[in-house]
Amino acid sequence: MNTPISASDRPDSIPVLRLLPKANARAIRRGAPWVFDNELVMDRRTRKIAPGTIAVLEDHDREAMGVVAVNPTSKIVARMLDRNPLAVIDRDWLFAKLTKAVAMRDRMYDKPFYRLVHAEGDGLPGVIIDRFGDTAVIQPNAAWAEMLIEDLADALMAATGVANVLKNSAGRGRTLEGLDDVSTVLRGVAPDAAVPVEMNGAIYMADLTGGQKTGLFFDQRDNHAFAARLSGESSVLDVFSHVGGFALAALANGAKSALAVDGSAPALELAAEGAKRMDKVLDTRQGDAFDVMSALADEKRKFDVVICDPPAFAPSKPTLEKGLRAYERIARLAAALVKEDGYLVLCSCSHAADTNAFTGACLRGIGRGGRRAQLLHTGTAGPDHPLLPQLAESGYLKALFFRL
Instruction: Give the DSSP H/E element, type plus range, for residue 368.
Output: helix 355-368
CATH number, domain with residue 371: 3.40.50.150
The pLDDT tens digits of the residues spanning 342-378 come to 999 999 999 899 999 999 999 999 999 999 999 999 9
Among the ranges given (83-92, 277-286, 392-401), the one the predictor scored with the smallest mean pLDDT: 392-401
**Neighbouring C-alpha atoms within 13 Å toward the C-beta of 81:** 27
Q: What confidence score (pLDDT) does residue 212 get?
A: 74
| Statement to judge: residues 295 and 373 lie in one domain | yes
Q: Is residue 3 part of a domain?
A: no
| Number of structural domains the chain divides into | 3
Q: Is residue 53 part of a domain?
A: yes
Active-site residue 347, yes or no? no
Instruction: Give the DSSP H/E element, type plus range, for residue 110.
Output: none
Residue 292 has a CB neighbour count (10 Å cut-off) of 19
* Measured CA distances, 33 to 28, 152, 244 (Å): 7, 20, 35
Instruction: Identify whether the C-beta of residue 57 lies closer than 8 Å to the C-beta of residue 65.
Output: yes
Q: Which of 308, 347, 349, 362 is labelled catalytic? A: 349
Q: How high is the mean pLDDT of the chain?
A: 95
Q: What confidence score (pLDDT) does residue 2 get?
A: 60
Q: Is residue 171 part of a domain?
A: yes
Task: Quote the domain boundaries for residue 285.
Answer: 195-207+216-403
Q: What is the pTM of this model?
A: 0.94
Instruction: Identify whether the C-beta of residue 218 lies closer than 8 Å to the C-beta of residue 109.
Output: no
Q: How sure is the predictor about 56, in pLDDT bands with cuts at 50, 70 and 90?
A: very high
Q: How sure is the predictor about 165, in pLDDT bands with cuts at 50, 70 and 90?
A: very high
| Statement to judge: residues 260 and 383 lie in one domain | yes
The answer to whether residue 3 scores a pLDDT higher than 70 is no
* Measured CA distances, 149 to 72, 140, 189, 352 (Å): 20, 8, 17, 29
Q: Is residue 346 part of a domain?
A: yes
Cβ-Cβ contacts under 8 Å for 397 (sequence gap 6 or more): 219, 220, 347, 348, 349, 379, 380, 381, 385
Q: Which of 25, 53, 82 is the last residue of a domain?
A: 82
Instruction: Identify whether the C-beta of residue 337 lies closer than 8 Å to the C-beta of residue 296.
Output: yes
Q: Which of 82, 111, 139 is the last residue of a domain?
A: 82
Rounded to 5°, angle at Cα 224 from 366 and 247 = 80
Separation CA 220–CA 382 (nearest Å): 7
